[in-house]
Structures are given as structure tokens and as C-alpha cells.
A = this chain, B = another copy of it.
Amino acid sequence: MKTKKVAIVGASGYSGEVLVQLLLSHPHAELVAVTSRQNAGQTLAQVFPKFASHPKSKSIRFAEPNAEVLAKQADVVFLALPHGVAAEYAVPLINAGCVVIDLSADFRLKSADIYKEFYAHDHPAPELLKKSVYGLPEIYRDQIKKALLVTSPGCYPTSILLPTIPLLKAGLIKPASIIADSLSGVSGAGRKAELDYLFVECNESVRPYGVPKHRHLSEIEEQLSLAAKTDVKIQFTPHLIPVNRGILTTLYLEPAEKLTDDKIAAVYKKSYGDEPFVRLLEGKSLPDTKNVVGTNVLELAWRLDPRTGRLVVMSAEDNLVKGASGQAVQSMNIICGFPETAGLV
């Protein structure tokens, strides 16, 4: 299988770090360049001591990001940048023939209007919104195969969309009833020197935030509306908990019809029975982030509550792997024709 050359723009955050890790050990990808304004000139080994035993960690040096140079070096370019700056690199890289996989929120919405509503400025490259493919392989595998620009989903959205889309498509739940209560590890806030994310402020603490209108809602609701074929608004409460990695989402749903465990099981089996990265739990098992951290797997379980009539669905994922960099690599595998599980566990 032909090796592809890959580069990462903005490789110094937590998602970037996991991308470096996954790509350094990928059997069919060769990491050829990493960029970072703040670390330019330093080797991978200097910035990430944990990779210092890898043979390439001393030869790969962070460069200033430059789309023209990257286009010559790489077949596939991952953008792991803060929101709002991805367009600057995506446009020239795509024009130069690179596959671009963007981990930011910049191209996740189809609608430039909703982008403006949630991000409070005009979209910098609205023409690309139509071209981008939402990089949730279990839902959009066929489109990803042919994509030039993959917009990799956010961590919260992944944990909410995978459990709900099959139910909505099958008409099993009421679209207006969706409540998503999510708990995220602190790496979800990024590697930012802010008081709120100091060890002492997060340890022995749990707190909701961004209530009631978190930015990720726009992306979640657009995808849910597509699945439900109707406009969907959901209730979403993110909480910060003192773990490094992991998201646990509990969903409260109202059945659209009389549901049984068999009916739900059938829908999930059909959707995910053969998926390597969705694990349907059986028996009494419930999701636990410690069973998925470090992997690209999303765990999923559900309970029909006979007392209330509601359906409770729970998911667990590693926010930096299935919720970010692992899923991005999964998309790369699909586009490049590699086995979808290559370089992922």
C-alpha cells in the first residue's frame, strides 16, 4: 500500500499532540511536517518529550505555517488550529490538490448564517461550506471517500450524534425531546494558560458551563435536523470534570412510538453492528470513559425506563481520539484507501 505524506498545521495543542502520536506510528502515513508559530525551530522531541524515543522526533522540526510549502510536502494536511483561522490554510491547500482534514469548527456548518449566529462574525470562506464533508465515518463514509475537505466533528457532537442519529432516522424518538447532559475532561478546553483550567481550580471540582447556548449546539442541531428531516433544537449542558480525557454523555429521549429493547437493539445493530469503533454494550454494562480513553472507540448503552417511558442512552469516548484526532485519522484512512482501522486501536 502506497504511503501518503502527511502534515499537521498547529500541532502544539492537545489534539495536535494526539495527531502526532497517531501519525508517527501509522503504518501507511509518513509524517513529513508539523507547524506551530510558537514552537517554530524546535524538534518534536523538544516540544513533546514523550515522543523523544521515536526515531523521527529529532529530525522533524516545527516550521512556521506556510500553505505553499506544505502543499509541496504533503498529500494530506491536518489543520489543528483554533476556530476562525483554518480557512486561511484550507483554501490554498485544496487548490494545490491536497486533501485537507480540518479539526476546527470552521467548516462544520452548512449554513453561513448559523455560523454567524453562533460565532458572531461572517464566515471567511462560505463557498467551502458546501464542499466540506462532515467527517463522521459511521454516517458519511461514502461522502468522505471522495472528499477534498473533511471537517472533523467536535468532541461533544460525536458523543451525541452517534447515539441519536440512528434513532432519529428510524423515527423511534421525538426530535424535540432530546436532552444531552455531557461531562468532559479538562483537555477539552485546550492547552491554554487560563486560570479556570489550573489544576487547583479543576481538581475536586465539577461544574456546568456554557448554559444554555454552547457553540457546539449549531453543529449538533444541523446534523440532527438532517437525520430527522425536520428542524431540531436540543437541550445541551456540558460539565467540566477532573479527568484529563474522556466525555460521558447521558441522553434523555422520548419515544415516538411504543418502544421495546428489541426494536432499539435492531436499529443500533443495523447501524453499528459492523462498525469497528462503536461498541454496543450488552447485559448490565454501562459506558465508562476509562474503557475507551486512548482508543478510537465510542461505547454505547441504553435503558428503556418502564416507570417514565423515557429512553436513556449513554455514550463514552476519548474526546481527543474519537472526539478529535482519531476520528480525523479514520477519515484519512477512508480517503486514502487504507484499512479504516490502520494506526488506530
Contact = CB atoms under 8 A, between A and B. Distances in A.
A207 B295 contact: no
B202 A204 contact: no
Interface of A: 14, 25, 49-50, 52-53, 176, 179, 181, 183, 185-187, 191-195, 197-209, 211-213, 233-235, 237, 239, 241-246, 248, 250, 252, 276-277, 279, 281, 285-295, 297, 299, 303, 305, 307-308, 310, 312, 314, 316, 345
A294 B234 CA distance: 35
Contacts of A211: 286, 303, 312, 314
A84 to B, nearest CB: 22
A200 B183 contact: no
A341 B35 CA distance: 29
Contacts of A291: 49-50, 52
B50 A295 contact: yes
A248 B307 contact: no
Given A181-B181, A181-B250, A198-B193, A241 B206 contact: yes
A213 B248 contact: no
A14 B183 CA distance: 26
Contact of A233 (B53, B295, B307): B307
Contacts of A285: 49
Nearest to A250: B237
B205 A289 contact: yes
A252 B235 contact: yes
A14 to B, nearest CB: 7
A38 to B, nearest CB: 11
Contacts of A50: 290-292, 295
